[in-house]
A and B are shown apart, each in its own frame.
Chain A
Amino acid sequence: MALTGLDIFKQLPKTNCKDCGSPTCLAFAMAMANGKASLDMCPHATEAAKETLGAATAPPVKTVKVGVGEQEVVLGDETVLFRHDKTFYHPTALAIQISDKLSGAELDAKIAKVNDLVMDRVGQTIAIDMIAITNCSGDAATFKAAVEAVAAKAKFALLLVADVAGLEAAVPAVAAKKPLIHAATAENWEKVVALAKANNCPVVVKGNGLDDTAALVEKVAKEYKEIVIDFGNTAPAKTLGDMVNARRLAIKKKFRPFGYPMLACALAADPKEEVVEAVTYVAKYASIVCLKADEKQFLLPLMAWRMNIYTDPQKPMAVEAKVYEIGDVGPDCPVYVCTNFALTYFAVEGEVVGSKIPGYIVAVDTDGASVLTAWAAGKFVAEPINETIKACGIMDKVNHNNIVIPGYVAIITGKLKEISGLDVIVGPQEAVGIPAFAKARYPQLLK
């Protein structure tokens, strides 16, 4: 977001010396805001002004990368507060905790378990993103050993959580994996930031609330800019408030200390409460959420939520245009035709499952538009439906000549019958009517 003339004016020397060619500093500021002048035309601008005003053209939230190669996680680089304004770009990374109190076979088992947190859902592979190794033992050598053991086997990027001694012991050993270091605090930041800089690893700056964290980030950013912010989560409502304020200030006011990705830790002890708590952080701007939960049934719903929130609202969600077999299908089963808009398809699929009558669903490629939208755009009318039916070969799999179309496009029935030679049955308008429709029409197939 561009700065206003007044924002720029505040940073100018206010000498009104005309050396820049404008009659006053305010006039020069207005010219800059309109893109008609640049700061280098003012010979008296301070270094601070150059940095802040230069930052005005930089993205509001810096991109920070953790991990290397296939394990790389990209954080930050967001531009909006509400997904409907544009989209959220980089899905929240989920970091699962491993304590360094584990060792030997226990540690190996835990690493294997966390490595296995990879699942398939609606045709996509989804997984956690990071493994957080925590220095629960309090001992630097133990931490180093655990970090090395995890680094050797982990399928994900690393987050190293320890005090200065622990980090100084462990970071150099795994620096090539570009772990994220947690955390630089008011007490230790000089040492931790020096360590991060020397090993070229991103660092978490952990403060206590907005003011404290902003002050600390300002100090750190003078030395090193590969930063992730942690407001020191003490309660969900506070973390929500802190993150909303920080992201607003970064985007709307170009407030640089908050122009970095943010990390939040779920506090609840019970894993189910923990993932429900994380829902808020995924929706409200956290780039990383740290969790202890390590069971698939807990993480699958959270991953689905992340997937949904980070879906681009401008691109309709589509399923693959093909024939779907619902249930134990046979040659007597009904053939339903719908569009490949994901919501349309899933509505139909859900009701066909609910009808307890197996069936085929042909999802016609409508570029992810719903039934009426696609019909209005000429993508869900007789010709393309006929072509899809012929091309997918569905009628060879059944021993009848019937297809069921959505009730809302009953108007295309005649034309579709004529060009396809099929018996076109007009189904219910809403998918919710499918079970009743199917039971009335195919009672012999009821399971």
Chain B
Amino acid sequence: MATNMLKERYSGKINTVTIGATKEQGGTRTSTVTVGGDSTMPFLQFEGEMPLKPVVAMEIQDINPDWHPVLNEVYADVINDPVAWAKKCVECGADLIYIKLAGAHPDNGNKSPEECAKVVKDVLAAVGVPVIVVGCGEEEKDNAVLPVVAEAATGENLLIGLAKQDNYKSVTAAAMVHKHKVLAQSPLDINICKQLNILISELGFGPENVIIDPSTAALGYGIEYTYSILERGRLGALQGDKMLSQPVICQVGYEAWRAKEANASEEDFPNWGNQAERAILWEAMTAAGLLQGGAHIMVLRHPEAVRLFKANADALMVKPEI
């Protein structure tokens, strides 16, 4: 008996967005990363294309972030040196480097825009992979820092952010002028997500320049909201909504390593088992869950979580005979 498969026919697809530029393209990257292009729900390759595999960006910071002990142990020898840290991440399988300029924050050292730009330039000089740069989270300061960074890295085709609904003009303008991509973050709200994409495109910066950050909630702490927003956004894009058709980035590391399950010791919670393995899985499984929602770039911290995530993504990318 032949079962008639129920293949969905979609009219739209996810844009492709390329991050990084090689020498020929005006930058200095030895490789670029292109994500998106999907014309189906995640991994359903019997009814559409999923031409490009999901990628991992590993997070570094310009100052010692005093992370979780499990992470501090891994990065002990490099955590005070963004250049060495970035190199180590590339060795651990990072497709991109994600730099958070935490040291620019007024409470965290208040680095000048020029100092921040130097960190980015140094990392760019040290590694060949494409680079994502985000500010410290203090809007006024980021509006001063990001344009300087964008200018210093002209031609490198960074992904730079964050652009938010009430603060998107300065970073978008800087990205436009210096030919970078913009990371647009909305607070777990698909309507704001779409509205922000519209606002950015109204500045004359098309959807091919934007990556969506729908806000990530960690496993156990609201991940189902992010998951369902990803699914709804993806369905919208496949039905032809251009303002939801941008690829998606999920900032997993920051959220997952904050979870109580990552931070509670085995002495305090003997019923939760080994803390280090539990913490690493908290990150890997947050990423694997959001991958099923349709995310394209995962920002991760622990090398073992990176390995587990990549093994999962690779297995799902194999096109099966159905």
Contact = CB atoms under 8 A, between A and B. Distances in A.
Given A249-B6, A255-B3, A350-B258, A301 B231 contact: no
Contacts of A68: none
Given A273-B311, A305-B285, A210 B272 contact: no
B98 interface: no
B282 interface: yes
- What bracket does the count of chain A residues touching chain B fall in? 35 or more
Contacts of B137: 432
A253 B261 contact: no
B167 interface: no
B223 interface: yes
A218 to B, nearest CB: 7
Contacts of A300: 261, 272-273, 278
Q: Say what secondary structure dominates the interface of chain A.
A: helix
A391 interface: no
B118 interface: no
A51 interface: no
Given A301-B281, A313-B228, A244 B271 contact: no
B222 A342 contact: yes
Contact of B1 (A211, A272, A295, A350): A211
A241 B278 CA distance: 29
Interface string B295-322: 0000000001000110110011111111
Contact of A235 (B46, B288, B308, B315): B315
B272 A343 contact: no
Contacts of B2: 211
A304 B220 contact: yes
A141 B221 CA distance: 47
Contacts of B318: 235, 237
A366 B232 CA distance: 27
Contacts of A248: 6
Given A238-B320, A279-B289, A305-B289, A214 B3 contact: yes
A27 to B, nearest CB: 27
A252 B4 CA distance: 12
A347 to B, nearest CB: 8
B281 A308 contact: no
Nearest to B188: A343
A215 interface: yes
Given A209-B322, A354-B258, A277 B1 contact: no
Q: Say what secondary structure dominates the interface of chain B.
A: helix
Contacts of A275: 281, 285
Interface in A397-447: 432, 436, 439
Interface string A203-235: 000000111001100100000000000000001
B225 interface: yes
B272 A242 contact: no
Interface in A290-304: 295-298, 300-302, 304
Contacts of B274: 295, 297
Contacts of B57: none
Interface stretch (A71-79, A101-109, A117-125): A117-125
Nearest to A231: B322
B224 A308 contact: yes
- What bracket does the count of chain B residues touching chain A fall in? 35 or more
B219 A276 contact: no
B292 interface: yes
Given A297-B273, A300-B273, A308 B322 contact: no
Nearest to A234: B320
B91 interface: no
B277 interface: yes
A343 B189 CA distance: 14
A36 interface: no
A245 B6 CA distance: 6
Contacts of B275: 297
Contacts of A297: 272-275, 277-278, 281
Q: Which of A83, A283, A317 has the most CB of B within 10 A?
A: A283
Contacts of A235: 315, 318, 320
Interface in B181-204: 188
A210 B322 contact: yes
B315 A236 contact: yes
A313 B224 CA distance: 8
A387 B3 CA distance: 62
B227 interface: yes
A301 B261 contact: yes
Nearest to A435: B107
Contacts of A317: 222
A276 B227 contact: no
A38 interface: no
Given A209-B321, A273-B311, 20 more contacts: A120-B271, A214-B1, A218-B1, A235-B318, A236-B315, A237-B43, A237-B315, A241-B43, A276-B308, A276-B311, A279-B288, A279-B289, A280-B288, A280-B316, A297-B278, A298-B281, A300-B261, A301-B285, A305-B223, A342-B222
Interface of A: 82-84, 119-122, 209-211, 214-215, 218, 235-238, 240-242, 244-245, 248-249, 252-253, 255, 257-258, 268, 272-273, 275-277, 279-280, 283-284, 295-298, 300-302, 304-305, 307-309, 311, 313, 317, 342-343, 346, 350, 353-354, 432, 436, 439
The 6 closest A-B pairs by CB, nearest first: A297-B273, A296-B273, A238-B320, A297-B278, A304-B220, A279-B288
9 contacts: A237-B316, A245-B5, A275-B285, A276-B308, A279-B285, A296-B272, A300-B278, A301-B282, A304-B219
Interface of B: 1-6, 43-46, 107, 137, 188, 217, 219-225, 227-228, 231-232, 235, 258, 261, 263, 271-275, 277-278, 280-282, 284-285, 288-289, 292, 304, 308-309, 311-312, 315-322
